[in-house]
Chain A
Amino acid sequence: QSALTQPASVSGSPGQSITISCTGTNSDVGAYNYVSWYQQHPGKAPKLMIYDVSNRPSGVSNRFSGSKSGNTASLTISGLQAEDEADYYCSSYTTTTTPWVFGGGTKLTVL
């Protein structure tokens, strides 16, 4: 069982916006502003989309945004495109003996 809880799947039509949630505890998501999000296409390595809750690395589209409220972080993708179809993982730094944890992943389907 993953430490961070994500929905197994979300879907949306091209042009729409979707939000993926990532729920943790006050030992991880709620404790630090060190939430990151990754996009992974089949057979490929993950790609960093958001770090430090809401920062986008250079080269990542501004259609991707991140936020956090309490123990829940969110990734929002606006103007959905076919190439956004992928698995998305959240991650957080934690106060526990395992200092990094990932969510279970969310499969995004673009209808």
Chain B
Amino acid sequence: QVQLVQSGAEVKKPGASVKVSCKASGFTFTGYYMHWVRQAPGQGLQWMGWIHPDSGDTKDALKFRGRVTMTRDTSISTAYMELSRLTSEDTAVYYCAKNVLPDSAAPGLDSWGQGTLVTVSS
């Protein structure tokens, strides 16, 4: 079955960077866009960006441009999201998610990781 397993919780100081991993199994990793979505405590969902694991092409939200880097390692079916210059407003649960249809960025996200809590505090 499809599984996305994310790395564990992180505590970071303001100004630092965090890198979250998302290990995929149960599907062809290179065939599906992988998205990153975050959710601040008590808030809604916020789309951060996507990566196509086959080509490595990425697209990020304007809000995070210049601060977010999405990469992947196809040899271990793992996607990564690194966010730099952290502030307290980046405290959130970060999710990776897979698109429902192959080779399409748009339709919907049908499998989600368990989430990674990133806490930014001095």
Question: Which A positions have Cβ atoms within 8 angstroms of B?
Answer: 2, 32, 34, 36, 38, 40, 45-48, 50-52, 55, 57, 89, 91, 93, 97-105
Contacts and interface: CB of A to CB of B under 8 A. Distances in A.
Contact of A100 (B61, B110, B112): B61
A97 B115 CA distance: 26
The size class of the interface chain B forms with chain A is 20 to 34
B108 A50 contact: yes
A45 B112 contact: yes
Interface string B36-67: 01000000111100100000000101110000
The 4 closest A-B pairs by CB, nearest first: A51-B108, A36-B108, A45-B112, A100-B47
B100 A48 contact: yes
Interface of B: 35, 37, 44-47, 50, 59, 61-63, 95, 97, 100-101, 105-110, 112-115
A41 B120 CA distance: 25
B41 to A, nearest CB: 11
A91 B112 contact: no
Contact of A104 (B44, B47, B50, B63): B44
B45 A97 contact: no
